[in-house]
Amino acid sequence: MAFQIFSDLDSSIPLTRPDCLFDDYTFFKRHAGHFPHSIYVFNTEIEEGAGLLNINNAFYHPGRGSFGLLPLNGNSFNSPLLLLQQPVYTTSPPELWLNHFQSDYIERLTANGFLLFMEEPSFLIEVKEEVLSLRMDRGNVKRLNKGIRLGVETSLDVTWEPLYQLLSENRAQKGVKLAMSEAEVNFMMQQFPTDCFWFSTRKDGEVIASAFVLQSLPGCWQVVYWGHRPGTEDLSPVTSLANSIYEAARHRDILFLDLGTASLEGKPNQGLIRYKQNLGAVPSRKATFVRHASQT
């Protein structure tokens, strides 16, 4: 049998690292305890797994995180899905990444009975030999050069707690909270230390902006959060952050920077779209598919 289904969170599951960080069993287990009857499906032939959270009588993959990769080979995923009586929703990685690493993944999804449910663009910067400023708009190039003249510097940082606090203050000023609590970030730092990166931007030694980045896929860094300290807008520190993250990625064989989507409450935010495109990002389709229980 190619597949094993684990519903008991204390089961002995092969702890192989899947391509997508959000499909890691440790990541799944962290969140599955809040949702009874969630399952982890492991494909023994390709040694890949994925967690499906049972939420409101439907399975969601991934339950937390931006996207995931179901462990498909051929149409054999039908076998475990036939045992499920609820619909299964899965969100795939951005199309640019799929075209480079798993160009037949969507084809395999549809061969296993998945239908397109919805889609929205994620904004990616392709990492090339050329510097990022060649793809920034004129305004961001001016901001970057101004920051350099004023001594604004960005670098990787290992002391993450103050950087998280800065991001929390940034979101509080906008009337929102970070989706990841400090405890959840600490969990990520402890469990996936080589996949988590913090960047800090400083002026005269004072931190004025920070960013939390995950290597969520092979060759892809995902900017989970970034933001500046209130009152430092005139220094445009996020432009410096974007440039320095790109430069760090260039030296680590990273092919894409994923800046995430640009929507609010499910609707495109034109200001955010322009902001990300002006930094050099391009839209890339990120699709959610559904497989209904009646599909056999």
User: pLDDT tens, 6-56?
Assistant: 665 555 666 667 889 999 988 988 888 788 888 888 887 777 888 899 999
Q: What is the mean pLDDT of residues 210-220?
A: 96
Residue 266 — pLDDT band, cuts 50, 70, 90?
low
Q: What is the mean pLDDT of residues 98-117?
A: 92
The reply to whether 137 falls in a domain is: yes
The reply to whether 161 falls in a domain is: yes
Q: Structurally, how many domains does the chain consist of?
A: 2
The reply to whether 63 falls in a domain is: yes
- Give percent of the chain above pLDDT 90: 68
Same domain, 61 and 115: yes
Residues 243, 144 contacting (CB under 8 angstroms): yes
Same domain, 245 and 165: yes
Residue closest to 22 by CA, chosen among 251, 180, 171: 180
- Whether this prediction's pTM lies above 0.85 is answered by yes
Residue 112's pLDDT is 84
Residues 225, 178 contacting (CB under 8 angstroms): yes
Q: What is the mean pLDDT of residues 108-131?
A: 93
The reply to whether 279 falls in a domain is: no
> Does residue 135 sit in helix, strand or coil?
coil
Same domain, 113 and 133: no
Interatomic CA distance for residues 71 and 44, integer angstroms = 9
One-letter amino acid identity for 262?
A: A
Q: What is the mean pLDDT of residues 228-246?
A: 94
Beta-carbon neighbour count of residue 251 at 10 Å? 8
Domain housing 112: 3-119+285-291
Same domain, 7 and 57: yes
Same domain, 161 and 219: yes
Same domain, 115 and 137: no
Tokens (6 digits) for 229: 């300290």
Residues 6+ apart with CB under 8 A from 189: 160, 196
The reply to whether 267 falls in a domain is: no
Residues 214, 195 contacting (CB under 8 angstroms): yes
Same domain, 92 and 133: no
Same domain, 169 and 137: yes
Residue 1's pLDDT is 43
CATH number of the domain enclosing 232: 3.40.630.30
Tokens (6 digits) for 97: 């990444």
Same domain, 132 and 250: yes
Res. 109: pLDDT tops 80? yes
pLDDT digits (tens, 9 = 90+) for 47-95: 788 889 999 989 999 977 789 999 887 655 555 665 677 899 999 999 9
- The overall average pLDDT reported for the chain is 89
The reply to whether 39 falls in a domain is: yes
| C-alpha torsion angle, residues 49, 54, 57, 58 (rounded to 10) | -40
Same domain, 170 and 85: no
> Could you give the count of Cα atoms lying within 13 Å of 143 in the half-sphere of its Cβ?
19
